[in-house]
Structure 1
Amino acid sequence: MKKLLRIVLLTLIFASGVLNLTGGQVHAKTAVNDFQVQAILPSDNLSHSSYFNLKVKPDTNRVLRLRITNNSNKRQRINVQPNNATTNENGIIDYSVHAKKDSSATTSFTDMLSNRNGKSVSVAGKSSAIVSFKLTLPKQPFSGTILGGFLVYSVSATNQVKNSNQSSNLAHYVIATQLVESSQQVKPNLLYHGTKYVGSGGLPRVQVNLQNTQPTIIGNVHVKTTVTGEGNKVVAKVDQKMLNFAPNSSFGYQLPTLNNKELKAGNYHLNMTVKGDNGSWKFDKLFTVTDKDGKAAKIAKPATNWKQIIMWVIEGLAILIVLAYIINKFRKWMKKD
């Protein structure tokens, strides 16, 4: 009995160990992902920072230069992609998306660049290269702030990871660019363009579509939002601070539902307060979720965690075997008495 028990327990322990070992994630270490990017700031840069912050004049030209340093031993191909600044679903200014000019904008950062689709440069190992972009200001003066940036990443590292079928955290750098022609402040205007039920990463979200129609940053934003359903039951609630909305940007600000629960078809009430350092807005709106909206959201059903289930079965069997052994020993002891 003891020998059989020992064999069974060792088998269960081994099976448990195998399950734990196979659950780890492998991260690829690429030999060509080690590089740095630096903005070569002109003497008239408005701030002692790492990004371009320039006061410009209409109908003039500037050259924006970036120094890319390859710290690895291998040659790398680096892409430099200019983008207009936008606002992402979390209420944060984003320079990484190749967004089109907003409908409210008269001009944009990429409109002013000679190579708006970006540049690619090959940099030898342990060396640097300069990438230049010609900036041409429109003849018609603009008010407020033009905001954009350069997204820089290694094509070589991206291709290497794809070919290896492994996951890796690849380096992406962003160098922001802020352009003004006048120091006169522009008052922001935040518009509400409806609310809808969506899915994001398979999770249910309430998306509030907003638009900053003016060429000015809405900074230090505090958003307080409550969504209620039937019987005034709260289905989503958010209180976020330190957000920033890009100039002339349209975006879908997303709220997670409470406990990531799906919304049923029906009528809902949105109560939203947005307060920035240069303005405040309140939106008290009704919206409807239909069965069609629920299907379109494509909310992922929780996957069956077979590994966890097997672990529970193994642990349960181990406990039963130990109990059976103890009961058997107890019976033998009782017979002796």
Structure 2
Amino acid sequence: MQRGLKILFAMFVALLVWGTHLTNAAASSVGYTVKAELPADQLSKQVSYFDLRTQPGQEQQLKVVISNTSNTTQRFAVSVNQAVTNDNGVIDYSQSDPKLDPSLTVGMKDIFTQAADQHVTVPANAQKTVVLTLKMPATKLRGTLLGGVYVAQLQGKTAKPTAPISIKNAFAYAIGVELREGALVQPNLVLHQVKATQINRRNFITANLQNPEPGLMSGLKVNAQVMKAGQSQLKPLIQQQQSKMGMAPNSNFNFAIPWGNKTLPAGQYVLHLTAQAGKQNWQFTRNFTIANKTVKRLNKTVVTPTKQPNHWLYLVLGLIIALLLAIIGYLIYRNHQQKNSVQ
């Protein structure tokens, strides 16, 4: 018994050491770090991103330091991107050319020069400072303008700068850029189009939610229910609840309600959606239609849902097997006892 415990303990220690080694190897394989050189007019010294109060017409340089901690020369793509909200309800700085919300009048691409998007080569075990220049519009900016400096590794040889290159998807750094010239503005929530659609060959009802104000939204919680029109008091056909989401200023995203294994045929439906962020609350009710041609089109490409395992069947089979083993064990024991009594 003690020998078995020692073996198990040795295996646990070996797995722990192996897991630690893998974690350290993964961390070191990135091979570079990125850091913002915070300017003197930084509003908060407690954060690692650019948090600035600017003036109309102001021109300023922002500096980002890229440190190559590997033993080989590396190339990087540096861009200043507009902050948008992806369909997971997460503020996203990684998109270089996103579809911008119609409510956005001044974006990051409007105030940073074209030189902000550049390729940078950093020698092995060295660092390089990238300088980005912004110029604010002459008209005072309302609320918050949010974006990010996005730095990603490039594949390709330095000796052939004209050769095709691509950004590695494994790892990238994003440093936030938050600019404002006046008071903070409260975010808002507006419900737009509700429709049946398909994501990764799975059917969903999506509700487009927009924050049309230049205000940052955090801690967003959404609860959505889809019911048959005229039967709002019944149990919802499908529903989805999600929390801890956020929205960038002047952005929108599609809140997805899984169709799942439910049969949702063509017809008239109603969406009830409630949302909360901080002390703000919203309630929406929207009637929508799913057309016959929409259902037929989606059903042609949808992935057939896999059947859930019947746990009760497995439980019954397990009990039957256990009972049979008990009976067999009893019979063997009784036979052994009878032989002993004969002797």
Scaled by the length of structure 1, the TM-score of the pair is 0.72
Residue 43 of structure 1 pairs with residue 40 of structure 2:
yes
Q: Secondary structure at the match of 1:275?
A: strand
| Count of paired positions | 279
Deviates more, 1:169-178 or 1:131-140: 169-178
Hey, what does 1:180 align to over in structure 2? 180
Q: State how far apart, in whole Å, the 1-side matches of 2:150 and 2:297 are.
A: 32
Q: What is residue 264 of structure 2 aligned with on the other side? A: 263
| Secondary structure at 2:289 match in 1 | strand
**Which residue of 79, 94, 100 maps to 2:77?**
79
- 1:180 is matched by which residue type in structure 2? R
State whether residues 84 and 108 of structure 1, in contact with CA within 8 Å, keep that contact through their aligned partners in structure 2.
yes
Contact 1:222 1:242 in 2 (8 A): yes
Match of 1:16 in 2: none
Query: Are 1:241 and 2:239 an aligned pair?
Result: no
Q: Deviation of residue 30 (structure 1)?
A: 12
CA pair 169-155 structure 1, distance change in 2 beyond 3 A: closer
SS of the residue corresponding to residue 155 of structure 1 reads strand
What is the match of residue 201 of structure 1? 200
Give the partner amino acid of 1:275. Answer: Q
2:34–2:64 contact (8 Å) kept in structure 1: yes
* Aligned residue identity for 2:265: K
Partner SS, residue 170 of structure 2? coil
> Alpha-carbon deviations, 1:135-194, whole Å to 9, x = none?
110000011000001221111289xxxxxxxxx961111111100101x23233322212
Deviates more, 1:198-207 or 1:138-147: 198-207
Question: Could you say which structure has the greater relative contact order, defined with CA pairs below 8 angstroms and 6 or more residues apart?
Answer: 1
The answer to whether the 8 Å contact 2:261/2:305 transfers is no
How big is each residue's C-alpha offset from its partner over 1:56-98, in whole Å with a ceiling of 9 and x where there is no partner?
Answer: 1110111111111112111111111221111111222111123
Shift of 1:246: 1.0
What value does the CA root-mean-square deviation take over the aligned residues?
3.5
1:302 Cα shift? 5.3
3-state SS of 1:106 partner: coil
Question: Hey, what's the Cα distance between the residues in 1 that align with 2:263 and 2:152?
Answer: 37
Match of 1:223 in 2: 222
For the residue of structure 2 that corresponds to 1:300, the secondary structure is coil
Where 1:170 maps in the other structure, the secondary structure is strand
Distance 1:178 1:137 in 2: 13
2:293 is paired with a residue whose SS is helix
Alignment of 1:269-280 (within 5 A): 269-277=270-278, 279-280=280-281
Give secondary structure in 1 for the equivalent of 2:155: helix
The separation in 2 between residues aligned to 1:60 and 1:42, in whole angstroms, is 14
Aligned-pair CA distance for 1:236: 2.5
C-alpha distance in structure 1 between counterparts of 2:122 and 2:222, whole Å: 44
Distance 1:80 1:169, change over 3 A: closer
Query: Could you tell me which amino acid in structure 2 is paired with residue 300 of structure 1?
Result: V
- Cα pair 1:63 1:135 within 8 Å, conserved: yes
User: Residue 46 of structure 1 aligns to a residue in which SS?
Assistant: coil
Displacement of 1:303? 8.3
Q: Which has the larger displacement, 140-149 or 124-133?
A: 124-133
Aligned to 1:326: none
Q: How does 1:1-337 map to 2 (within 5 A)?
A: 33-47=30-44, 48-98=46-96, 99-115=98-114, 118-156=117-155, 170-182=170-182, 184-229=183-228, 232-257=234-259, 259=260, 261=262, 263-277=264-278, 279-297=280-298, 298-301=301-304
In 2: Cα distance, 1:185 partner to 1:77 partner: 38
Secondary structure in structure 2 of the residue aligned to 1:90: coil
* Contact 1:104/1:248 (8 A) holds in 2: yes
Q: Secondary structure at the match of 2:114?
A: coil
Query: Where do 5+ consecutive residues of structure 2 fail to align?
Result: 1-25, 158-167, 308-343
For residues 27 and 116 of structure 2, the distance between their equivalents in structure 1, rounded to whole angstroms, comes to 27
Structure 1 residues 131, 177: closer, same or farther in 2, change over 3 A? Answer: same
SS at match of 1:294: helix
Q: Distance in 1 between matches of 2:115 and 2:265?
A: 44
- Per-residue CA shift, 1:291-334, capped at 9, x if unaligned? 33335544223589xxxxxxxxxxxxxxxxxxxxxxxxxxxxxx
SS of structure 1 residue aligned to 2:130: strand
* Aligned mates of 1:196, 1:157 — CA distance in 2: 43
Residue 260 to residue 218, structure 1, CA distance change in 2 (3 Å): farther
CA contact (8 A) 2:238 2:262 kept: no
Identity across the alignment (%): 33
